[in-house]
Amino acid sequence: MDMTKKYGSNGYELRKAAGLYWLLDLHRSGEHYKPPLAMNEMGAEIFKYRQLGDNEEEIIRKIGSEYDADVETVKRDVTSFLKKLKEYETE
């Protein structure tokens, strides 16, 4: 998945800067500004898959395949990150 380009929908935009990926909430500005959420490359991939409509199980399968990682570790990481994304979006 190309991580060098901006990616966004539903009022969010993902950008890469300073070696990290940053999720920007474009709904908020001015006095309601919300700081961007920093994430690593795997977090950015999880976000992109979710934006494309993949469910949690599909994301776990894709991330596990890409990183050739232990399924339980991937499941824990994906589930944890999706929870963090949900919290960020509802702040």
CA neighbor of 55 nearest in space, from 76, 22, 79: 79
Long-range Cβ contact pairs of 59-63 (< 8 A, separation 24 or more): none
pLDDT at 54 over 90: yes
What pTM does this model have?
0.80
pLDDT at 74 over 50: yes
Average pLDDT, the chain: 86
89 band by pLDDT with thresholds 50, 70 and 90: confident
